[in-house]
Amino acid sequence: MLRSSEEKATDDEVRAAALQYVRKISGYRNPSKANEAVFEQAIEEIAAASQHLLDSLVAGHRAA
């Protein structure tokens, strides 16, 4: 479900979305021990990029 632009996403929601994306793109629900660190790193990077996007959209929305 798409989120409303009126509500700010929580950190947990952003991380959950990043986790879902990494699972989808990698094809793995849970990584092997050998891939655990890179899986977690991808989640963190995607969550940060997603938060940056949301912060930028909010800032742009306020300026309009």
For residue range 19-29, list pLDDT tens digits in order: 999 999 999 99
12 token code pair? 């947990």
Q: What is the pLDDT of residue 3?
A: 67
Is the pLDDT at 43 greater than 80? The verdict is: yes
pTM above 0.85, yes or no: no
Count CB atoms within 10 A of the CB of residue 43: 19
What residues does each domain of the chain span? 12-63
Asked if residues 46 and 21 have their Cβ atoms less than 8 Å apart, the reply is yes
**Helices within the chain (DSSP H only):** 11-26, 36-63
Closest CA to 22 of 9, 35, 8: 35
